[in-house]
Structure formats: C-alpha cells, structure tokens
Structure 1
Amino acid sequence: MDFTARKRKSFKLASENLNSQYSNDLNMYNIPPMGETSLEEFETLAIERLQLLRTLEQASSKGHKINSEEWRQCIKEDLNKLDLKKFVRLMNGLDGQNELDFNARRADHLSHFILRLAYCRSEELRRWFINRELEWFRLRFMIQNQNTLNRFLESNNLIYIPISEEEKNAIFNELMMSTANMSDINIKSSNFFKVPFVEVCALIKNRRVFVKMGYAYIPTSELIVCVQAKFRANLSEALNIASHRLPSLDDDRINTFLLNLNNSYTGKDYSSSNSEKKEMDPADLDLNSKKHYPMCMRHIHETLRSTHHLKHKCRLQYGLFLKGIGLSFEDAMDFWRDEFTKLMDHNKFEKSYAYNVKHSYGKVGGMVNYSPYSCIKIIMESVGVGDHHGCPFKHWDSHLVKQKLMDYGVSAEGIGAVMELVKNGHFQIACTKYFEYTHSMQAPLSVINHPNQYFEESIQMSGDKKKA
C-alpha cells in the first residue's frame, strides 16, 4: 500500500476489480490491500475504523448482551449518528453487488490494516483490537445467508462439509439432547457439520455439542465458533509480525499519527469557532456547575471558588472547557482576574496569568484556536499530589469518589453502579452513569466522551437556555 501526500481524491478501482476483490461482506483480512491511497484518506479511514470499534465497545458497556438484537440495533443507531453509513451497509447482510457495496468493503479492508499498525505496539492494545475485531466479524457472520456464507468459506479455504441426512438421522436423538437451543424441527431443517472437537472447545466446555470419536457435530449457527477461532489466531499472529516490522516504517508523515491514534478523540469538535454557540454569562457559572457540569469540571470550579487559585494544568483544563461552553475571551479575562485578585494584586495577575488566558483563546503566541480537552486526554493526564485536574474516576481514591458522589446527591444504588464501573476501568461509562443518576435516570444520547458533550446534553435535556 502506498501512502501519498497529495491532495485527497476518492480512490476507485475499476468495477470488475472491485467485484473480484470485494465480493463478500465478510473478510478474514489474510491479504493486505494493494494500490494507492492518499494520506488524508489514510487518516480518515483510521479514525472511522476507530469510531466503529469504540461504538462496539460502548454498546456492550451499555448493558446490552453481545450479539443480541438490542446490541446490534444500538450499534446501528450509533453508527448512523456518526455518519458511518459504509459500516451500517455491511451490517445489513444484503450481499449487495453494486459500487457502494464494493467501496464499503474496500474501506473496511483498508481501515482494518491501518489500525493493525496502530494497535500492534503492545499486548494491551493488541488484546483490545482483537476483541473488537472479533465482535465486528461475528456481527456480520451471523446475518449471512447460506449462499453468501458458502461463498465466503470457499474463498478462504474453510472447508466444512455438511453430514448426510442418513448420518444425521442415525444420531438424531443425540443431537436433540446435546445441541443447545434447537428443537427437533430445527434439527431436521438445519445442516450439521462434522468438525474436529479441538475446534469447538468452548461448546464442549459449556456442554452444547454432541461429540463422537473425536468429532463434534455442530449446526450452521455454530460454525462461527470454528471460524472465529481461526480469525483470532490469524489476527494475533499478524499483529505480532506487524509489531516486529513497525520499526522499519520510517515515514514521519504517519508514524506520529499511528503512535497517538489509540488516544485520539473521535467525537464532535467543541471549539469556540462554532458560530451557532451562544455566549455564556459568567453570572450563570455557579448554577450551571451544580446542574450541568461533569464531576471533573464541577470539582475544579468549586476548588477555584474556595481557593481562588488553580495550577497551570488545571487552569488549562477548566479554561478550555469554559471557552467551549461559550465564555467569551473578554468574560474569561474578567472571570479569572476577579477570582485570582482575591489573593493577589492586579499587576501580579497581569504579569503571571493573563497571558495564559490570551493564549488559550488564540490571541497571542501561535494564534492557535485550542479545543477543549476530551475525556481521553483528561484520563491520560499525569496528576500529582495537590493537583485538581484529571478525571476523578481515574485519578481519585475510591473513598473520595464515593464521598463526592454522595455530596452531589447520587443515591446509594447509583454510587454502587458507578463504583463498579470505576473498579473495572470503565471511566467514561462511569461518567455516563453519573449523568443518569443526576438527571432523573435519563441517559445521554451516547457514552460521555467529552466534558462539553456532558454539558451540552445536560442543557438540552433540562431545557435551560444560555443567555446570548
């Protein structure tokens, strides 16, 4: 694959080439993509794939059972919200053969291999990537009809020949007693396959399959167990190979991008450049902090009001958040000046702190319009003793989190639910659960990925209006 830095253009293969390379919605990703793609498309595909995999993870964390109809519908709705229609197309199992279908499969193919480069660098990243890719593969596998499934198996040299009707009738009673969730009618109408028992250890462990003389007899619906085991083994080996070859990738255009991709924010941009955003009245900040701030920002605001000072990283985190909710540059200067000069004179503030506010708003220095910090960036921050920035669910002692939840009016049930998520490292989902318990059990539209998303959805849900 060649990554060119020229201006982005849509890369299209001739229809016959697309047809031959991407005739199936399913892909074992055994063959790397060929041809060229622009650097911009490379980055776009990587971000879109990351959004897909994070959507899969979040759907499971919302309480939906993996592979259930509710889980699939949740994923489809979230992908539509993100305008990732190419992936939604692959979820429909329609086996389309037009250009839109071929291009969707091509994007799926390229984006998978791009993320391999980003997620092969450590055991933790590889584990996360493999689990999400398995979910994506299984989701599509289970909706294929028999014809498309046979075509996929044949094209990947996965030979599973169904047993004859005579052999099935001979072991019919055993299949009835051993095959999970199948009635006699289902067994009569389904194809059964005879596979080495070592390929379906999970079914044997759960006593869901009939085994005879070293072979397991599985229905078509359980073929996924065999195929996904091969998928996992192949992908695991491919990631190990990629990790050894990655140091030889000396293209500075993509090295930095790949290195930071797993920590990239993939949601809405909450910079103050949004022309539709109304200005925030500084007089409303105290009330808004109690009603609409996520815990991280509410804690910082309360600390500022009580101590009249914040350290540099804390000022950045909170200052950019305020900028994102509509606090104008002039109001921001007045807000910080009024608070800090309760401990120092005006000259001290102008000399030591005013420049930081100007810099955050792009008024000095490189004139950069800095965006508010996302949850991922806040979670990844280093936080020391005496610091008040960072993510409470990640950086605080559990006893302090519990106390703060109690102070903020979260019920005992809610505290237990939030702390269970914190214990398992699901910090953004814990924040989402905190949102629910502080908003009369109304959930946000999606998992909280940004403090300004929390604020925006809270404002919309309550019907409060910011003063223009």
Structure 2
Amino acid sequence: MKRVRPESEQVASFDPASARKVHQSDDLGVTFYKYPPNAEVSVRQFEDYTASRLKLLHAIDRACNSQELRLEQMKDSIRPKLGNEFRESGLELVYPETKARMETFRLEKVEFQSRDSISHFALRLAFCKSRDAREWFLRQEQRLFVLRFEALNAEAREAFLGSEGIECNRFVETEGEKMTLKMLQRCTPGAKIWVEKSGTKVPEFDQTFYVMPFRAVPEKLISGRRVVLQRGKAYVPASLLKLVITKRFKENLAEALEVAFHGQHAALMDPRVGGFLRVLQDYGLQLVAGPRSSSEEPREKLSLQNFEELLPRSFPPCMRRLVEKQRETTKHLKHAGRLQLRPFLKACGFTFEESCQWWKKELCRDPLITSETYEKSYHYDNEHAYGKKGHHQGQNCFGCPKIIGSPGEAPGQVHGCVFKQLEPSALQNQLQRWQVPLPAMMEIQRLIKEGKHYQLACIEYFKSQHPLSDGEGVGNSPVDFFRSSVRFHKEKEKEKGTTSPTKEVAAVASEMPQAIAAA
C-alpha cells in the first residue's frame, strides 16, 4: 500500500529548483495586445494605470534618446537604469524565485495583465490621432516590448514565437550536415556578443542559433548581412531573435492604431473617460515623465512682445537658424522649413492671431510675396496648424528624431538639424556667430565626428549658452529645449530678485488635469 506523506513532510520536501521549472516557459505577460481587456476598473484606476504607463514610456524615450541606442543595445544599457520606473508603474513581472512568490505568481500575473492591457489600449486611443503621436507611441511600445522579451527564458521566447505563427527551430548540428555551429559563428557578424567577466566586457560568440524562413527576418538584417541564408532558410543568432519578433509586433500595432483612429470617437464621447483621453491627445507628447508639483514655477510663453529677446536666448539651434536664415536672405522659407517652424512657435506660446501676424511680416520680407500672395497661398497653413481648417486636429511640434531624420537640404532650402545638415566648416562658422565658446565647439564637433551624436551635441550647445546647467530635459524635442532655457533664466532672475514686466506667465499645472499632474 502506498504511504501518503503527512502535510508537514510535504512542505519540508519543497524543492525550489524543481518548482522553478514550472515557470521556465512562462511568457510573463508578453503579448501583442490583439484583444481588448475584459475587466472592470474604476475611473480613478483607469487614469492611474494610463498615467503610470505614459510616465514609463517617457522614461524609456529619454533614456534611449540620450544615448541614441538601437533596439539590440537596450538590455544592458537601459534596463538597469529603469528599475524604479518599472516598479512604480506596476508594469514589471519577473520569474518567481521564492516559495511565497511561486504560490502567488498566477494571481500576480492576472493583475499585471489587467493593468498592462488597460493602460496600453487607453494610450492606443490617445496616440492614434496624429502621425507624429503614432510614431512616438509605436517607437516606445516597441522598446518596451524588447525589454520584456529580453527578460524571458530561452524556452519562453521560443514558445512565444511559435504562438505568433513564426516557424522557429533551434539549430542542432547533425552528422552529414554541411552547416556547423562554428561556421555560423564565423559567418555571422551579429553572433558576436559582449559578456561581462571580472568587471570587464569581453567578446564571445553566441552559442545558440535559430532556423526560420527568411521571409520572417527583417530586411535590414538580410541587407546588412547579419544572418546566414541557405535554401530559403535564415540562421539567426539568439541575440538578434528580438528583432525578428519586434518587427511583427510593430506591424500589428501599426494596423491596430489605424483601427483605433476610426473608433476613437465613441471613446472620446464617453463621459467617464472622454475628457481624460482628450487631454492625453493634446499633451501626451509634451508631458514630463517626472512627478510634477502644484507649486512648480510658472513658465514664460512666447509672444510677439518677447520674440526678439527669446530668439537668441532660448530658441534651439534648429529653429533659430530657420528664423535668422529667412531674415538674412530675405527669401521665404520653403515648405519643409515652414512645416518645422510653425508648430514649434505654436507650442511655445504663439496664439493663432500672433502666428498669422508674425508669418505675414516675415514672409513678406521676400519681395516676391505681397499681402495678397500671403493671404492666398500661406494663410491657410496657419489655420491648418491651429486646427481651424483641414482635419481640425492641428499640428504638433516635431521631435528631435524626426528633425534629425529630415532629408538633406536642396538649394534654397533650410530645415532639419543644424548639427547634421551643415558641413564641419559651415557648422563652425555658425557656432562662432552664435558665440559658442571654443571648448564647447570642439566637444560638439567631436560628438558629431566620432559617433554622429546630434542630440548630445545639442545638449552641449545648451550647456554652453546656459552656464552651470546640466542640460537635463534637453535633447528630445525643440520645445523641451525652449522650456528648459526659459526655466533656467527664470530661476536666474529669481536669484537676482528681478522680473521683466513684459513677460507673459502661465502656470504649467493649469494645462494638465489633476490626474496627470499628480502622476
């Protein structure tokens, strides 16, 4: 007869190693968000979940853009720095290591999935409105997905790819097979990974490869010869597996955002969450991820009265050059330049009336443009930017990545990032005209020459024009540059005890709903 162990003996015989194997293939809630959540939460919880996720996405954006990281570099460079943000957002789920956590893991996962899914679909509705908002949301969700996918065990990654319909098998050497592991390691540039040993990182070859149809592999990996192709099959090192699945994730989310765009009207009309989602649509891209205080200093807005003062003092190089070049040449900005500058002036504080007055004056410096020409050919652009014509949604200021990615300037054009568009000699002349100190100028040129770190060059420029500033908050968008500069000078004036009577002041806290400001 089989003896049944007493309960006390069963507890004593608990083996953590054996119990841990149960969760080796768990996906830790990683998902493509194909189905909307089916859960009930209070309005307050809905807002908290969404605001927390938005804060995390902004933290990821700042961390990645400050170092200009690619997706494959994120795990070691970014993940350790975002530990607090993940914990505070409640969007982190890790494998259980203790008996207590193993017993509660399933309940934790259910709660995590509910929070994760609700917040994702809420932001999907908020960021589907404009192209710039979609691109930003896509980029940050893609980065978040990579960080989560990297945290999975090998078994879980393989199972997840299979669940998404990607045929993926681990490569195993067999007798008579011409392809060997050693051959793959030598022929695959992406197979070399850096492993930390004794405090230093040393290169090693990836020991695991996966075989999959070449059509499932991103085109960039193939064109860059980062994977081996043979008879319609691609041999992908484990370190690049995340790029394969992330491509599929991005494609699915892009399609889902289009669906959300056509269905957002019903959500915005909901009296419980409609107002909150509208605020996210208007301010989601400008929100600062850090906590805000109701006592935060009010910021100065751009106006016709203070424009000439703020132009050399607080405008980022990409926007300052547009204004100055238009005035120097007495030739109106071409379409790309106007498209870059117009929403920036709007975001910094120009009212619709001020914008119309300013653009009419500046464009009419060109002898070819008269008042009648302006009203006929250019006035509509302002109406469109402020949401008075066209799709009535207005235009948002471009972020630094988009400006940096602008095409090169043709003759007569001025647009894009100063640090990328100008040749070294032209850039040096431009920085000299802006009275950038020589040490800062040399550092800017070094950053561009050695790594094309255009955003870091902009931060260095900011620091040269704002002594003792660390440049925090600069480098993500021109509006961040402007606001950081205004804040710097306002604190400087406060220290001196002087205030300019012509400055228009508006409180930052009044622009955000209480739920977002408290977040």
The question of whether the paired residues in 2 share the 8 Å contact of 1:90 and 1:105 is answered with no
The question of whether the paired residues in 1 share the 8 Å contact of 2:190 and 2:239 is answered with no
Instruction: Quote the Cα distance in structure 2 between the aligned partners of 1:167 and 1:194.
Output: 17
Match of 2:87 among 85, 98, 120: 85
Quick one: structure 1 residues 195 and 29, their matched pair in 2 at CA, closer, same or farther if it must change by over 3 Å?
A: same
Q: Percent identity at matched positions?
A: 24
Provide the residue aligned with 1:148 in structure 2. 156
Residues 370-404 of structure 1, C-alpha deviations (whole Å, 9 max, x = no match): xxxx999536864343499x99x99xx989x9999
- Asked if residue 251 in structure 1 is aligned to residue 270 in structure 2, the reply is yes
Q: Number of residue pairs matched?
A: 350
* C-alpha RMSD of the superposition: 5.3
Instruction: Quote the Cα distance in structure 2 between the aligned partners of 1:210 and 1:199.
Output: 13
The question of whether the paired residues in 2 share the 8 Å contact of 1:86 and 1:104 is answered with no
The question of whether the paired residues in 2 share the 8 Å contact of 1:33 and 1:110 is answered with yes
Residues 110-159 of structure 1, C-alpha deviations (whole Å, 9 max, x = no match): 21111111122333332332222112111222232213324434554544
Provide the residue aligned with 2:63 in structure 1. 59
Quick one: structure 1 residues 411 and 103, their matched pair in 2 at CA, closer, same or farther if it must change by over 3 Å?
A: farther
Provide the residue aligned with 1:199 in structure 2. 216
TM-score of the superposition, structure 1-length normalised? 0.57
- Asked if residue 29 in structure 1 is aligned to residue 11 in structure 2, the reply is no
Residues 314-346 of structure 1, C-alpha deviations (whole Å, 9 max, x = no match): xxxxxxxxxxxxxxxxxxxxxxxxxxxxxxxxx
Give the aligned residue type for 2:228. F
Give the aligned residue type for 1:300. N
Give the aligned residue type for 1:218. V
Provide the residue aligned with 2:287 in structure 1. 266
- Asked if residue 122 in structure 1 is aligned to residue 124 in structure 2, the reply is no
Instruction: Quote the Cα distance in structure 2 between the aligned partners of 1:44 and 1:429.
Output: 33
Provide the residue aligned with 2:43 in structure 1. 39
Give the aligned residue type for 1:385. Q
Q: How far off is 1:42 after superposition?
A: 1.9
Quick one: structure 1 residues 232 and 69, their matched pair in 2 at CA, closer, same or farther if it must change by over 3 Å?
A: closer
SS in 2 for 1:60: helix
Provide the residue aligned with 1:339 in structure 2. none
Q: How far off is 1:208 after superposition?
A: 1.3
Instruction: Quote the Cα distance in structure 2 between the aligned partners of 1:49 and 1:183.
Output: 34
The question of whether the paired residues in 1 share the 8 Å contact of 2:29 and 2:113 is answered with yes
Mapping of 1:25-424 within 5 angstroms? 25-67=29-71, 73=77, 77=81, 80=84, 84-86=86-88, 90=92, 98=105, 103-156=111-164, 158-166=166-174, 170-172=178-180, 174-182=183-191, 190-200=207-217, 201-249=219-267, 250-264=269-283, 265-267=286-288, 274=295, 300=306, 377-378=347-348, 382=352, 383-386=355-358, 409-411=435-437
Quick one: structure 1 residues 408 and 459, their matched pair in 2 at CA, closer, same or farther if it must change by over 3 Å?
A: farther
Quick one: structure 1 residues 84 and 258, their matched pair in 2 at CA, closer, same or farther if it must change by over 3 Å?
A: same
SS in 1 for 2:33: coil
Q: How far off is 1:231 after superposition?
A: 0.9
Quick one: structure 1 residues 70 and 238, their matched pair in 2 at CA, closer, same or farther if it must change by over 3 Å?
A: closer
- Structure 1 unaligned spans of 5+: 1-18, 281-292, 305-373, 422-426
Q: How far off is 1:105 after superposition?
A: 4.2
Q: How far off is 1:166 after superposition?
A: 0.7
Q: How far off is 1:258 after superposition?
A: 2.3
TM-score of the superposition, structure 2-length normalised? 0.52
SS in 2 for 1:244: helix
- Structure 2 unaligned spans of 5+: 1-22, 194-202, 311-343, 362-395, 401-413, 419-426, 449-453, 498-519
Instruction: Quote the Cα distance in structure 1 between the aligned partners of 2:110 and 2:466.
Output: 44
The question of whether the paired residues in 1 share the 8 Å contact of 2:170 and 2:209 is answered with yes
Residues 51-88 of structure 1, C-alpha deviations (whole Å, 9 max, x = no match): 222333322332342347688655654673xx552558
The question of whether the paired residues in 2 share the 8 Å contact of 1:192 and 1:218 is answered with yes
Residues 289-316 of structure 1, C-alpha deviations (whole Å, 9 max, x = no match): xxxx99969x939859xxxxxxxxxxxx
Instruction: Quote the Cα distance in structure 2 between the aligned partners of 1:41 and 1:270.
Output: 19
The question of whether the paired residues in 2 share the 8 Å contact of 1:195 and 1:217 is answered with yes
Residues 336-381 of structure 1, C-alpha deviations (whole Å, 9 max, x = no match): xxxxxxxxxxxxxxxxxxxxxxxxxxxxxxxxxxxxxx99953686
Instruction: Quote the Cα distance in structure 2 between the aligned partners of 1:126 and 1:32.
Output: 18
The question of whether the paired residues in 2 share the 8 Å contact of 1:53 and 1:133 is answered with yes
Q: How far off is 1:104 after superposition?
A: 4.0
Instruction: Quote the Cα distance in structure 2 between the aligned partners of 1:49 and 1:153.
Output: 25
Instruction: Quote the Cα distance in structure 2 between the aligned partners of 1:42 and 1:380.
Output: 33
Instruction: Quote the Cα distance in structure 2 between the aligned partners of 1:154 and 1:192.
Output: 16
SS in 2 for 1:36: coil
Instruction: Quote the Cα distance in structure 2 between the aligned partners of 1:48 and 1:380.
Output: 31
Quick one: structure 1 residues 68 and 153, their matched pair in 2 at CA, closer, same or farther if it must change by over 3 Å?
A: closer
Give the aligned residue type for 2:178. A
Tell me which moved more, 207-216 or 407-416.
407-416
Quick one: structure 1 residues 87 and 142, their matched pair in 2 at CA, closer, same or farther if it must change by over 3 Å?
A: farther
The question of whether the paired residues in 1 share the 8 Å contact of 2:214 and 2:234 is answered with yes
SS in 2 for 1:90: coil
Instruction: Quote the Cα distance in structure 2 between the aligned partners of 1:117 and 1:133.
Output: 14
The question of whether the paired residues in 2 share the 8 Å contact of 1:294 and 1:431 is answered with no
The question of whether the paired residues in 1 share the 8 Å contact of 2:91 and 2:115 is answered with no
